[in-house]
């Protein structure tokens, strides 16, 4: 088998395929701590706007009102 360079899905470190921890799907990790982080991913701090959300109302320009 040939040596394929991968990146850790959690921290982005480069790793060799034979040294990688395989998570679910096709994700690879550099160590067991990064692999464990896959199961304990925290929710995103960026709000997700649903597709059926109404259009935002533009704020009035400063100085007008």
pLDDT digits (tens, 9 = 90+) for 22-41: 877 778 888 888 888 766 55
pLDDT-derived band at 47, boundaries 50, 70, 90: low
Question: Domain limits of the chain?
Answer: 5-39
More confident residue, 7 or 65: 7
Average pLDDT over residues 52-59: 79
Query: CA of 21: how far to CAs of 6, 8, 53, in Å?
Result: 11, 9, 39
Burial of 5 (0-12, 13-18, 19+ CB in 10 A): exposed
Q: What is the value of pTM for the model shown?
A: 0.48
Query: What are residue 6's DSSP bridge partners?
Result: 15
Q: Which has the higher per-residue pLDDT, 65 or 33? A: 33
């Amino acid at each position: 088998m040939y040596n394929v360079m991968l990146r850790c899905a959690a921290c982005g470190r480069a790793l060799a395929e034979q040294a990688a921890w395989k998570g679910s799907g096709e994700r690879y990790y550099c160590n067991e701590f990064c692999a464990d982080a896959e199961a304990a991913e925290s929710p995103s701090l960026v709000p997700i706007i649903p597709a059926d959300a109404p259009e935002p109302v533009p704020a009035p320009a400063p100085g007008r009102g």
